């Protein structure tokens, strides 16, 4: 089985609002609590848009495989700073779920109506570890297609609007499926090795 990349996106938090405008008709109406949540949804959505992948509500064929580095610590810091400053009144019940990295992948699932396998794990690099895992999941029959990538802290000294975070996602699927639907193929994954994306 040959696997290919049919969509990709690399977006900084400085570009998230502009990119969201291109997805306005594809993303359910959502209220974003944290900028990392919006970045995850936008980056995954742009990859799907680039692949021409259509999602149908309740689609269980598309898995979400996401890595996150120290960026998640910013959400935890914000939550616990509020709790330390103001006790229980400062502990935001809206922000608390986002202290778990799984919530970011869940928001992608909610935004696009996906019900496939989901996995979040810590990573040090933006994509290779997650792409290898995603490819193995498709080869193992756990998903037919994968949204795979990561969110990373780019520069702690920058504000969110200046590009503090970046996200990179790709769509991985079987070559035969990509050819059947006329998708543009960016790269081929060969024998578990990742070529330049």
In the predicted model, is pLDDT for residue 180 greater than 90? yes
Structure tokens at 186: 């960016």
In the predicted model, is pLDDT for residue 23 greater than 50? yes
Domain boundaries, the chain: 9-167
In the predicted model, is pLDDT for residue 192 greater than 70? no
pLDDT digits (tens, 9 = 90+) for 87-140: 766 677 766 776 777 888 988 998 888 999 988 888 876 567 788 889 999 999
Structure tokens at 115: 């019900």
pLDDT digits (tens, 9 = 90+) for 154-170: 999 999 899 999 999 99
In the predicted model, is pLDDT for residue 4 greater than 50? yes
Q: Cβ-count burial of 83 within 10 angstroms (0-12 exposed, 13-18 middle, 19+ buried)?
A: middle
pLDDT digits (tens, 9 = 90+) for 32-69: 878 888 999 999 999 999 999 877 667 789 999 999 88
The closest of 174, 69, 54 to 127, measured between CA atoms, is 69
Average pLDDT on 16-33 reads 82
Q: What is the Cβ-side half-sphere exposure of residue 70, based on CA atoms within 13 angstroms? A: 5
* Average pLDDT of the chain to the nearest whole number: 85
Topology classification of domain 9-167: Peroxisomal Thiolase; Chain A, domain 1 (3.40.47)
Confidence of residue 13 (pLDDT cuts 50, 70, 90): very high
- What pTM, to 2 d.p., does this model score? 0.86
């Amino acid at each position: 089985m040959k696997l290919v990349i049919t969509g990709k996106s690399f977006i900084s938090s400085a570009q998230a609002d502009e990119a969201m405008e291109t997805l306005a008709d594809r993303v359910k109406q959502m209220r974003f609590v944290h900028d990392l949540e919006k970045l995850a949804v936008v980056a995954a959505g742009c990859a799907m848009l680039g692949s021409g992948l259509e999602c149908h509500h309740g689609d269980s064929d598309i898995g979400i495989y996401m890595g996150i580095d120290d960026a998640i610590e910013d959400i935890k810091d914000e939550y616990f700073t509020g709790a330390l400053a103001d006790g229980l009144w400062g502990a935001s019940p809206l922000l608390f779920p986002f202290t778990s990295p799984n919530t970011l992948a869940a928001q992608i699932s909610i935004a696009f109506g996906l019900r496939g396998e989901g996995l979040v794990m810590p990573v040090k690099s933006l994509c290779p570890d997650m792409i290898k895992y995603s490819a193995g999941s498709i080869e193992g029959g756990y998903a037919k297609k994968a949204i795979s990538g990561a969110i990373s802290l780019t520069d702690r000294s920058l504000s969110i609007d200046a590009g503090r975070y970046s996200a990179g996602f790709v769509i991985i699927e079987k070559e035969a499926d990509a050819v059947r639907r006329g998708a543009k193929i960016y790269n081929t994954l060969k024998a578990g090795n990742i070529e330049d994306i």
